[in-house]
Structure 1
Amino acid sequence: MGLRERKKAETRAALSWAAIRLTVERGYEALRVEDIAAAAGVSPRTFNNYFSSKAEAITSRHLDRLVRFAAEVRRRPPAEPLWDALAGAALAGFEPGPEVIAHPVPDPVQWAAGLRVMVSEPALQGEMLRAGAAARDEIAAAVAERTGTDAALDLYPHLLAAAVLAVVDTVTTHHLRTGASAPVERLLTEGFAMVAAGLPEPR
């Protein structure tokens, strides 16, 4: 990635994180595009160059994470077992970026409560579904390359892509439901291990 592309990616990530932070702090309805742009240090016009709405800005972080997941699957060692590679790729996607380090999450319990309110917004739920659908084919293509299957003809890579999205979505929801008492990283590891084992009944 060249310098120009990297700067654009950084601006996009900063805008998305600012949108999330401000929504958690103020609520979705009270949030304005001007506030997001100011928090990211850019103009409203620049915001509109990247996103068509505040809902799209908020869910962009989720979409970018899923797209990076597919790229990370392709980078994992070829000899690594498939489910270990998938879990490792998912964990890499939840590593904090520089924008999060610059503006860290405050109290985890209050943050989780705010996120629960945020993701209950119908406009955001629709965008989240759209983000998952946009990333599904890319994940299936990465799985197909790794497993020697054909994403155009075979069911397997698409089933696995759907399973990946289900694990990530369920882990995120559970993390928020429990007030962030369990780290996302641990839940992801457990979730992928459960699915890889065929979801045996709890002992």
Structure 2
Amino acid sequence: METSEEPGRREQNRLRTHNALVAAANRLFQEQGYEATTVRDIATAAGVGERTFFRYFPSKENLVLQQVRDLIPLLAAEIRRRPTAEPPLVALREALLALAARQDTSPAVLLAGPRPFTPEPISRGDRFLLFDLEETVAAAFLERAGITEPGLREELRAATLSRAGVGALRTVRLAHARLSDAERAEADPSEMVRIAFAALGA
């Protein structure tokens, strides 16, 4: 007979397996690159079989997309916590690096995947992932500035800065993807982010 504790244990086991798959994928993506990493590699590194992987994620790309979706609200919260004296793009840069350090992943998940935030759509929601990121960051900029009823000027400024910052992240992703395996092993993604944001004056 099933006890009331068993569903809770099953959920804990599912969460452990999910987290193990994500951690294994992050490590392998950074060590050998996204394209060279197979689902079998990820499953083996997580200590499970391929069939188990597919019970959690439809594909390797879906795993990355899910991570980005999960990180968007966390990034927005991190932006809102930044000192109000920081310019918006500095706040975005530092929020991203702080979140990456806390999550123990590269400043992106944003650096994994075949293309920056533009994978073949798995669902309607995925097609708007980039848009959702830009809109969420813009809203965080406004909230951080204490603007609750923005006018056209404030909305345009926040949206422009958000799209510029996300564009810098996409540029880092493209540059990172073009590195050879040896160059990627030596590259510091956090420093690449800083260089890209410096080009925007942040």
Report TM bin, short chain.
0.5 to 0.7
Contact between 1:144 and 1:151, CA under 8 Å: does it hold in 2? yes
Q: Which residue type is aligned with residue 195 of structure 1? A: L
Q: Which residue of 2 aligns with 1:168?
A: 169
Q: Which residue type is aligned with residue 76 of structure 2? A: A
| Alignment of 1:193 onto 2:198 | yes
Rg larger in 1 or in 2?
2
Stretches (4+) displaced over 6 A: 4-10, 43-46
- 3-state SS of 2:136 partner: helix
Question: How many angstroms does 1:36 deviate by?
Answer: 4.0
Identity of aligned residues (%): 31
Q: What is the distance in 2 between the residues matched to 1:6 and 1:163?
A: 40
Q: What is the distance in 1 between the residues matched to 2:54 and 2:131?
A: 23
Q: Which residue type is aligned with residue 126 of structure 1? A: E
Q: What is the distance in 2 between the residues matched to 1:161 and 1:8?
A: 35
Please point out which of 61, 72, 96 is paired with 2:78: 72
Q: Which sections of structure 2, spanning at least 5 residues, go unmatched?
A: 1-8
Contact between 1:17 and 1:61, CA under 8 Å: does it hold in 2? no
Q: TM-score, structure 1 length as denominator? A: 0.61
Q: Which residue of 2 aligns with 1:15?
A: 21
Q: What is the distance in 2 between the residues matched to 1:15 and 1:152?
A: 44
**Residues 142 and 30 (structure 1), Cα distance of their counterparts in 2 relative to 1, 3 Å cut:** closer
Q: TM-score, structure 2 length as denominator? A: 0.61
Question: How many angstroms does 1:167 deviate by?
Answer: 0.9
State how many pairs are aligned.
Answer: 178
Question: How many angstroms does 1:43 deviate by?
Answer: 7.0
**RMSD value, Cα:** 4.4
Q: What is the distance in 2 between the residues matched to 1:23 and 1:93?
A: 17
Q: What is the distance in 1 between the residues matched to 2:151 and 2:23?
A: 35
Structure-to-structure mapping, 1:1-203, within 5 angstroms: 12-19=18-25, 21=28, 31-32=38-39, 36-41=42-47, 47=53, 50-95=56-101, 97=103, 119=114, 125-126=119-120, 130-147=128-145, 148=147, 150=149, 154-178=155-179, 179-180=183-184, 181-196=186-201
Contact between 1:144 and 1:157, CA under 8 Å: does it hold in 2? yes
Question: How many angstroms does 1:73 deviate by?
Answer: 0.2
